[in-house]
A and B are shown apart, each in its own frame.
Chain A
Amino acid sequence: MISMEISSTTQNNHQRIHPHKFTMWVAIASICMMFAGLTSAYIVKRNQDNFLEFSLPNYIWFSTIAILLSSVTMHLAIKSFKARERQKYKLFITLTTFLGIAFTLLQIMGFVKIENQGIALIGHNSNAAASFLLVIIGLHALHLLGGVIVLIIMFFKSFSQKIKTYNSVPLEIMATYWHFVDILWIYLLIFLIWVRS
């Protein structure tokens, strides 16, 4: 990609954001709308009768810690990548991946707990209050899992000796997405606490 380097220095006298990065930002706006749709649907539903009240399982809090930590490790991963410290980079990206998986597992455990309390998430005796929780939190987790898959790919790439790339753009885009999914979770958490209080 030498030509890329050259052309972007010669042509790029005015600093514009990389189009792929920008695309990620627009995608983020789009994902926001999806959750805006779901959370406003939740508000509409909550005001109807027959909306079950129950407390959130503690696992939710543990998963929140995991995702917050993963944002920190993601940040450190980028820093070490830019400093060209490959070993550290590999370590942090591995940690981030595991924290992401831990987040998802903790949430699944949370739902198992809800089910064990006798509150059906799906099926004919389910209540929309619980189903909504499943759909909203589940969709968020799917977005996180998408990120995990990309992280795993990046992880293996960092071990392949053949490709030595110093282009940090893909990683930066990934990090933006990761932090976004984190912030989205915080939003959802606050929303759920607020709307259910």
Chain B
Amino acid sequence: MSNEAILHANMGSAHATHDDHHEHHQETFITKYIFSQDHKTISKQFLITGMVWAVIGGLMSVLFRFQLGFPDDSLPWLEDLLGKWWAAGGHITAQGYYALVTIHGTVLVFFVLTAGLSGTFANLLIPLQIGARDMASPLLNMLSYWFFFIAGIVMLSSIFVETGPFSGGWTAYPPLSALGDTSPGSKTGMDLWIISMALFVVSSLLSGLNYIATVLNMRTKGMSMTRLPLTIWALFFTAVVGVLSFPVLLSGFILLIFDRNFGTSFYLSDIFLSATGTALPNEGGSAILFQHLFWFLGHPEVYIIILPAMGIVSEILSINSRKPIFGYIAMVGSMFAITALSFIVWAHHMFVTGLNPFLGSIFTLFTLLIALPSAIKVFNWLTTLWRGSIRFTPAMLFAIGFVSVFISGGLTGLWLGNSALDIHLHDTYFNIAHFHLVMGVASILAMFAGVYHWFPKMYGRRMNVTLGYIHFWITIIGAYLIFWPMHYEGLAGMPRRYYDYSIWESFKQFSDLNKFISIVVFITFSTQILFLINFFYSIWNGRKETSENPHGATTLEWTTPINPGHGNWVGEIPEVHRWAYDYSKDGKDFIMQTTPIGADEKEEKH
């Protein structure tokens, strides 16, 4: 099926001639910037919406870190700002604390690192790097963004309801999520949470379908699967994981909705509610069932977050080392292995639920197996760097930072994946440290890397480099200072999700450490404002890009005009003759994918 057909079909006008010019219909402000079907615009919408959510979610962590670091201090103006419900007397209240932690987790995992990361780069890069004029279905693509947008509005509105947003943790385990009487946040807040998440699942499914169809069907001539840049492979696997795991979460939510609203007993059994002093009639349900359904998505979800980051980093490391990526096929293979394994390890989140120890040992085995493909990737990144002529651009620094925190956080995964050790470590700060480094920080760093790297393609301008360096160093040092000490707290048994540790004899010793962590959080968060300023200032006032291919890269997005219109290429879509990683080959710095193989040249076999 041809690319032209897609674009024409969606422009809604029939043309008698087959021309190559695609800017022929009148675009208004609304169709160009708001209800746009151009994948590049949708990409920017995802990015900026994601950034808004990152600021909101980040601010929440600043607030609850204030509580954790300074449980005895109060800031009276906080009550004026947030109201009594959240900060009575300038203290973050207990209910406020749980609400903050929950919404922070939900928003960061789903809105920022799933929609913001995949949404931005899949939309930007898939059509541009495979040589397509747009997605397989630009309409579905647009709908996907708007579902995400509305999901965000619903989530945001839940913050303002009288009983507060949902506050039972981002994993939304029943009974807190199923029974309105169990906590304030379990009432309207949870209704809104679940509506928002259902909309979000729809958004993810729509975009996932589109990404898969586009990668498999819309590649330009010569772009065989093994010539795809690793970014595309990564985004492709991400979409596969999403399309296969989100529906299971949805089915879990549907059962939850029945339990909440229609009095069924899927997840509930033998409950006595002290809040109302009543024994509930529900019988035969099991909260563990929800955990299975949740983690069947929940674990793949963390790979939905990390795979695009891996793709972006592979690409940026190779370009800025001026070396082909080491082990291209091994990279693809390990991503495939991660994709496949990610579906059979979910119960490692449930080692202490009374899971059959025999099953536990099987899940331990599968879980530790994931370390293999992960290690292969790390090895290949390091080898790509080895003896490269490295250009330390901000994007490159962030990409290297990714590799660093991915290693630090991945190693602790091996501890947690061991079902015996996990009995001690489960639900402690060790866990928090693990997943923030390996997922949170790593993916955010990759996202920054991607933004710095592709900014010229998105806006035709450059971001400020000096600000980029400052941003990088404070962020990476801050991230380590925040999360590294948490390993020790966790090993000492400090549980996660407690409101105030200073009243516990065993955790009093960490008061100063908690204070230290909180202060670093404030500094690191403030530094992100530097990035925001840099980003928005550069959109309008950054140095104008003058080169079509500013990084000397080989991939197709750099063959388009500096500010490509809808349809991306002015003439024919270029044909591809080689893989994406011919750097420093035959005495040439780089060879574009569009350059035919020379007469005396051998095509890279990988």
Q: Which residues of A contact B (CB under 8 A)?
A: 1-4, 6-8, 10-12, 16-20, 22-23, 26-27, 29-31, 33-38, 41, 44-45, 48-51, 122-128, 131-132, 135, 139
Contacts and interface: CB of A to CB of B under 8 A. Distances in A.
A126 B265 contact: yes
Nearest to A6: B18
A23 B140 contact: yes
Contact of A34 (B247, B283, B292): B247
Contacts of A33: 243-245, 247-248
Interface of B: 1-6, 8-9, 14-18, 136-137, 140, 205, 208-210, 212-214, 216-218, 243-248, 250-252, 254-255, 258, 262-266, 280-286, 289, 292-293, 296
Contacts of B292: 41, 44
A22 to B, nearest CB: 5
Given A2-B15, A4-B5, A29 B289 contact: no
22 contacts: A1-B14, A2-B14, A6-B18, A8-B4, A8-B5, A19-B1, A20-B213, A23-B210, A26-B208, A26-B209, A26-B213, A29-B243, A34-B247, A34-B248, A49-B284, A50-B283, A51-B284, A122-B263, A124-B280, A126-B264, A127-B265, A127-B284
B15 to A, nearest CB: 4
Given A3-B18, A50-B284, A128-B266, A22 B136 contact: yes
Contacts of A127: 265, 284
Contacts of B205: 27, 30
A37 B284 CA distance: 19
B251 A41 contact: yes
Given A34-B247, A34-B251, A126-B263, 12 more contacts: A3-B14, A11-B2, A19-B217, A26-B243, A30-B208, A34-B248, A41-B293, A48-B286, A50-B283, A122-B258, A124-B281, A132-B266
A103 to B, nearest CB: 21
A14 B210 CA distance: 21
A30 B207 CA distance: 12
**Main secondary structure on A side of the interface with B:** helix
A169 to B, nearest CB: 9
Contacts of A16: 1, 217
B2 A8 contact: yes
A48 B3 CA distance: 53
A17 B217 contact: yes
B210 to A, nearest CB: 7
Contacts of B286: 44-45, 48
B16 A3 contact: yes
Contacts of A139: 251, 254
Nearest to B9: A4
